[in-house]
Structure 1
Amino acid sequence: MTDQIVANTPSAGGAFPDKPPSSSKEAPELRFTNLAYEETVKLDLTCWLVALINYAARVSPLTLAAWNVRSLSDNPRSNRLERRMALVARELVRYKGQLEEVGAGYTSFWCDRPKAEQRDAGVAFAIRNDIVRRLSCLLQGFNDRLMSLHLPLRGDQFATIISAYAPPMTSSDAAKDKFYEDLHALLATVPKEDKLIVLGDFNARVGTDHAAWQGVLGPHGLGSCNDNGLLLLRTCAEHRLLLTNTFFRLPTREKATWMHPRSRRWHLLDYVLVRRRDRQDVLVTKAIRDADGWTDHRLVISQMRLRLQPRRRPQGKRPPCKLNTLLLNLPAHCFDFSNQITEKLEDLHAPDDNATVETRWCQLRNVIQSTALDVLGRAHRRHQDWFDDNDADISNLLAEKNRLHKAYMDLRTDATKAAFFRCRRLVQQRLREMQDAWMIRKAEEIQ
């Protein structure tokens, strides 16, 4: 099953509506299905935040998403929803501590603790490569819980996007106070003219007291407020931010983002924050129930009426692609190339006695290049990773897992739950086996 996102042109509007518009003329239409295997197996994460930007259509709005999940990987050929991201901001733990990694069309930047310290948090951005080239400055890693990105928008504007991961309720008061002190300091550095978007798992319940928190908390909150919620509400009030999740009349399944493991009650912990003056930019913020990524949190999407800076046209000619020299390892292609190059060199007209060395070299070069192109052709660029070689098998495994996940979401019984978790364990085991086998094979090839 393939993840899809379909965005239609939104109408011009003002403040948040009481409920999301139902007509495609009023707001973009979204369709999601289960997530793909590539998002679940490469990095060892316990939670991450996704901010995705869809700008394929000229009039498409900016779509961001926040998700607390455990892992992420890449496959540029996939047309699933999560593969149509341009920018990903995520929270991660127990990661390798590197600063930058390029792969499968994305560049990842992250910030976490040194190897000698316990890694229970971390923040990162994974940005599509064509967006990285547009950035006017590097990303800023404040600490292992805060990171920011300065994103250019159309009309010489900028959006500052912050990835945040707040300490959970079980953390000490000192850890919570330090996080919000750091967040205050980071927010104070954002230029006043910038659009400001803060996404993350704040581990906070803000409740429903709309009257007491006018301009911060909307009329459609969820549950009760706790100590972490008060810290978040006070921070939003001080910096004139609002919780977009609470301004839309939605069913609980589209507001709640996390279920308590003991009480089995759903709560709202993951938020998308914007400036009060920019509330008209937000079209809808809601949770997506059916997405599965080996996590107990739900995907949260937020559509905004923002447009990225247009792409710059490339100057000059693009360098030619490399020849597919791997075909020379095949005896048939090697023999064909040898015969053709021999024939063309024999038919090559002898240069004039007055011809320069450069002229003779160019003549020989052109013959060899044209023959190689005819016989070998151009090499197709392809990201090589273990899941590329096992794409068909993994797709079958994930199709079965996604089917059982949907059955569990539709009918929550002990039988459907056991079947889903059993299949999930099997998929994880098989994926690890495939990855290990691929690594061993590559090591043997290198030797």
Structure 2
Amino acid sequence: MFQKGKLENIKKEMQRLQVNVLGLSEVRWMGAGSFTTDNFTLFYSGGNKHERGVGILLDKETSKSVKGFSAVSDRVILIKLHGKPFNVSIIQGYTPTADYDEDAVTNFYENIDKAYKQCKSDDIIYVMGDFNAKVGDKRIGNTVGPFGLGNKNDRGDNLVTWCQSHNLVITNTWYKNHPRRLWTWRSPRDRTRNQIDYIMVSHQFRNSIISSKAFPGANCGSDHVPVICESKVKLKRLNQSKKNFKLQILLLKEDTDIKQKYRIKVQNRFEALDETTKTEALWEQMKSSILASAVEVLPKIQMNKKKKWMTDDILLLMEQRRLKKSNPLEYKSIDKEIRIKCSEAKEKWLNEQCLDIENKLSVNTKYAHKRIDEITGKSRCTSSGCIKSKSGTILMEKHDILNRWSEGKPESRQQEFRNLNFDIADFPVEIQKFSKLYRNFDNVV
């Protein structure tokens, strides 16, 4: 996914195949966090280099049900969704290839165990990804079905043993399909085809699976093809907080008329306050007065839709490339053209952004620095999305997170307030007076 245009290609195929949740291996993004683009949200977990990395890409509706996620390692990520009547836990894994020794494989299964232990026993648990293992076409208890592909290998033994210990069913071995709906990876020049990508589900929820098979027609420029599992699961949408809007605060400095109107409105509201009110309640009333006055006087900042560098011509070429999968020469030619056009389009877009930043540096430095962060990726969320307990265990349940927040030290928040860097002289006199009053209460949180 580190390749230019890869994410756009994946989103396009995801829409075409009507996939709500997509597990990704070899994302090759550094760090861990979440990233929203158009109507999709990507949760990712990587290392310190553009190597390995896993992610889970959700469509707009599914992302509204996210409870949290855990970036376990650069090969394992967990995401939890609110469901009804059961919550859903999804683990994406990427097992080391045959080039790695057994220690690397052991470490992978230790990490995927860590992710599994964060799931509740009554969750609908899905484990999916590139496991670089062949489980074969022979039934093994309730774990492996009779409709797999090829012969089981040593890595397949590891996977089957792990699934058995966690009572998981390998879904894409239980449905009779044409062989082209079984293989998930092919070697260069198409000499070998193997089934090494799987989707597992908790045995108690096996009957919720409608179908599970590979889709060789999908194309994202990879030697793997997606395995699509259709499942009967109802998700619960979380209460969405209202979107905050931004006001043009700089006008309080630049526009004398607006500054005067704002001062009058704040003063009128402050005069109506009851000074005998308790400190905390008085602060809430003053805060509401300040904000209400600002909303009445200051215009909102118009949020313009970000211009993307991806073009319709490139997207059309991607579709043409997909239709040429059976013709290696034409496929390779179109793929090369896509790479060239992606590089040209992104370079043109970057030049336009640089010119925009240069023009804004002398007028609005805050906007310019914000655009620099957006372009370089620094504005991307880089937190793991989860709160940890004192012992370091990741908390993903609401009551546990609230309890952890209640353990926070008030003095740390007070210190953060004191460290705020602003010039109080820029504010109206009434706010300056209140600030002096507030700072006298050293023990007030």
* Unaligned segments of structure 2, at least 5 residues: 249-266, 269-291, 359-445
Give, in angstroms, the shift of residue 74 of structure 1. Answer: 7.9
Of the three residues 398, 402, 427, the one matched with 2:322 is 402
Give, in angstroms, the shift of residue 104 of structure 1. Answer: 1.7
Of the three residues 102, 117, 137, the one matched with 1:188 is 117
SS of residue in 1 equivalent to 2:210: strand
> Residue 346 of structure 1 corresponds to which residue in structure 2?
none
The correspondence of residues 56-75 of structure 1 with structure 2, limited to 5 A, is 71-73=6-8
The correspondence of residues 41-190 of structure 1 with structure 2, limited to 5 A, is 43-44=1-2, 71-73=6-8, 81=15, 86-97=20-31, 99-115=33-49, 119-128=50-59, 131-136=62-67, 138-155=68-85, 157-190=86-119
> Residue 413 of structure 1 corresponds to which residue in structure 2?
none
Amino acid aligned to 1:402: R
> Residue 193 of structure 2 corresponds to which residue in structure 1?
266
**Residues 111, 143 of structure 1: 8 Å contact kept:** yes
CA 1:279–1:380 in 2, change beyond 3 Å: closer, same or farther? Answer: same
Give, in angstroms, the shift of residue 435 of structure 1. Answer: 0.8
**Residues 84, 234 of structure 2: 8 Å contact kept:** yes
Amino acid aligned to 1:163: Q
Deviating beyond 4 angstroms after TM superposition, the runs of 4 or more aligned structure 1 residues are 82-86, 128-133, 310-315, 318-323, 365-369, 378-381
**Residues 44, 94 of structure 1: 8 Å contact kept:** yes
**Residues 45, 92 of structure 1: 8 Å contact kept:** no
1:433 aligns with 2:433: no
CA 1:367–1:304 in 2, change beyond 3 Å: closer, same or farther? Answer: closer
**Residues 166, 203 of structure 1: 8 Å contact kept:** yes
**Alignment identity in percent?**
23
Give, in angstroms, the shift of residue 109 of structure 1. Answer: 2.6
SS of residue in 2 equivalent to 1:153: coil
* Unaligned segments of structure 1, at least 5 residues: 1-42, 47-69, 324-356, 373-377, 409-415
Give, in angstroms, the shift of residue 186 of structure 1. Answer: 2.9
TM-score w.r.t. the length of structure 2 is: 0.63
Give, in angstroms, the shift of residue 322 of structure 1. Answer: 9.9
Give, in angstroms, the shift of residue 110 of structure 1. Answer: 1.9
Deviations 1:293-339 (A, max 9, x none): 10111111000111111464878xx778999xxxxxxxxxxxxxxxx
Of the three residues 318, 335, 340, the one matched with 1:424 is 335
Deviations 1:183-210 (A, max 9, x none): 2343234211111100100000011221
**Residues 97, 114 of structure 1: 8 Å contact kept:** yes
**Residues 29, 44 of structure 2: 8 Å contact kept:** no
1:385 aligns with 2:312: no
Name the CA distance, whole Å, in 2 between partners of 1:126 and 1:385: 19
Amino acid aligned to 1:71: K
Amino acid aligned to 2:318: L
SS of residue in 2 equivalent to 1:147: strand
**Residues 45, 95 of structure 1: 8 Å contact kept:** no
CA 1:134–1:287 in 2, change beyond 3 Å: closer, same or farther? Answer: closer
> Residue 61 of structure 1 corresponds to which residue in structure 2?
none
Q: CA RMSD in A?
A: 3.6
Amino acid aligned to 1:154: K
Name the CA distance, whole Å, in 2 between partners of 1:122 and 1:113: 7
> Residue 445 of structure 1 corresponds to which residue in structure 2?
356
CA 1:109–1:238 in 2, change beyond 3 Å: closer, same or farther? Answer: same
Amino acid aligned to 2:91: I
Of the three residues 248, 252, 267, the one matched with 2:175 is 248
**Residues 154, 308 of structure 1: 8 Å contact kept:** yes
Give, in angstroms, the shift of residue 263 of structure 1. Answer: 7.1
Give, in angstroms, the shift of residue 428 of structure 1. Answer: 1.1
CA 1:72–1:235 in 2, change beyond 3 Å: closer, same or farther? Answer: same
CA 1:320–1:270 in 2, change beyond 3 Å: closer, same or farther? Answer: same
CA 1:83–1:322 in 2, change beyond 3 Å: closer, same or farther? Answer: farther
Deviations 1:229-277 (A, max 9, x none): 0000111111111110010010100111112337713211110001111
Identify the structure with bigger relative contact order (alpha carbons < 8 Å, sequence gap 6+). Answer: 1
Higher helix proportion (structure 1 or 2): 2
Name the CA distance, whole Å, in 2 between partners of 1:262 and 1:132: 38
